């Protein structure tokens, strides 16, 4: 992984009170066998930060209708 990816994994581990090893083990156990671990880690991180953003927006009172930029038609 690139240094930025390692930094992101570190941030997630810190936020979730676990280790990078814990996260990678969980991803490895849950990923599709045909998917590389590196690809699965990248997808996990993208989804994690999207959910973090959405959670933050909802806590700030953002209404679902205001999040239309997330839907692709």
User: Residue 61: its pLDDT value, please?
Assistant: 83
Q: How far is it, in rounded angstroms, from Cα 20 to Cα 49?
A: 16
- Nearest Cα to Cα of residue 44 among 73, 24, 70: 24
Express each pLDDT in 27-65 by its tens digit: 999 999 999 999 999 999 999 998 898 888 878 887 767
17 φψ region: left (φ > 0), alpha (ψ -120 to 50), beta (else): left
pLDDT the model gives residue 69:
64
Per-residue pLDDT, averaged over 13-20, amounts to: 97
Cα atoms in the 13 Å half-sphere on the side-chain side of 21 = 0
Query: What pTM did the predictor assign?
Result: 0.79
User: What pLDDT is attached to residue 73?
Assistant: 56
Answer yes or no: are the C-beta atoms of 19 and 13 closer than 8 Å. yes
């Amino acid at each position: 992984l690139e240094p930025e990816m390692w930094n992101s994994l570190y941030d997630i581990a810190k936020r979730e009170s676990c280790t990078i090893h814990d996260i990678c083990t969980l991803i490895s156990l849950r990923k599709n066998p045909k998917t590389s671990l590196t690809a699965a880690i990248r997808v996990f991180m993208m989804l994690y930060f999207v959910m973090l953003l959405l959670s933050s927006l909802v806590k700030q009172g953002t209404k679902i209708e205001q999040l239309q930029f997330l839907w692709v038609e």
